[in-house]
Structures are given as C-alpha cells and as structure tokens.
Structure 1
Amino acid sequence: MQLSVEISKYPLVEVDFVTAIQNFIDRINQYDDIRVVTNVMSTQLFGDYDVVMNALTTELKTSFEKYGTTVFACKFIPGNLYEKYAD
C-alpha cells in the first residue's frame, strides 16, 4: 500500500527553530525509498506505507529527544500523490 503524508514541524522550545526543522528534513531525506517534496509551508512524503511510517516513527522520536517539545501537524492520505505534487 502506498502512502502520502504532509507534515509540518513546530518546535515549542527556545531553540533556533529553522535548525530544528531543517534537521528533521535532512534526516527524512536520507531514506532512499521515500520521495520528499519540501516547500515553505510543509514537507510531503510519498512511498510504501510501512517504509514511510517506520521512518516517521524513528525521526519523530529523534526530534523529540533532540529538541524537546515539538508539535508535528500531519495529514495521512492513502495512495501515492507524488505526481499531483510534482506538477
């Protein structure tokens, strides 16, 4: 099963929020089996459901451990909508 996720990160602690957000984006971009599209509002992930969810489990935990209180706003959509975003 394919999955599309739109995710936004909002660090709530006294840190350089740009660095905290960029760190998450850089880490999620290291997964070869996930297509990543980033813009100023959010990051979209496209790929196999299990691959995307496992990556999110790992990277959300890393973000919480490294940067403390953080809000992630996510939308999960079944199917791979990459072609729609790529236009």
Structure 2
Amino acid sequence: MKISIELSLYPLAEEQYKTEIWAFIKRLRGVEGLQVITNGMSTQVFGDYDLAVNHVMAEIKHVHKTTGAAVFVCKFINGDRSQVEAES
C-alpha cells in the first residue's frame, strides 16, 4: 500500500529555523524508497505506507527532541499522489 504525506515544519526558534527545516528534509531524502519533493510551502513524501509513516514520525520525534519547540502541519492520504501532483 502506498501513501502520500504533505508536511510543513515551523520551528519556533528565532535563529537558524531554515537550517532545521533543511536538515529535516535532507534526512527524509536520505531514506531509500521515499520520493521527497519540496516547494516554498511544504514537503511531500511519497512511498510505501509503513516506510513513509515510520520515517516521517521518527523525524518528527527527532525535531521535537532536539529543538526547543516546533509545529508540524501534516496531511496523510492513501495512495501515491505524486503523479497527480505532477500533472496539475
């Protein structure tokens, strides 16, 4: 089963918030089997359901453990919507 996840990360840090966002994205891009697409508003993750959900949740936990505070806005939809996004 495939899944599509859209995430937005908002670190509540005054300094280096962009560094934390890009580190989060880089870690997800390093996972073999995931397709990670970014734009100015969010990051989309496409792949096998268990692989994607497990890695996204692990990265959310990592950010919460290593930053003072951060907000995540997430959308999860079953199926691989990467082709639908590309056609739009």
Q: Return the letter of the residue paired with 1:70.
A: A
Structure 1 residue ranges without an equivalent (≥5): none
Q: Which residue of structure 1 lines up, in the alignment, with residue 41 of structure 2?
A: 41
Q: Which residue of structure 1 lines up, in the alignment, with residue 21 of structure 2?
A: 21
Q: Using the alignment, how far apart are the partners of 1:68 and 1:55 within structure 2?
A: 21
Q: Using the alignment, how far apart are the partners of 1:15 and 1:51 within structure 2?
A: 32
1:23 deviates by 0.8
Q: Using the alignment, how far apart are the partners of 2:17 and 2:75 within structure 1?
A: 21
RMSD, aligned CA? 1.0
1:86 deviates by 2.6
Runs of 4+ that moved beyond 6 A: none
TM-score by length of 2: 0.92
Aligned length, in residue pairs: 87
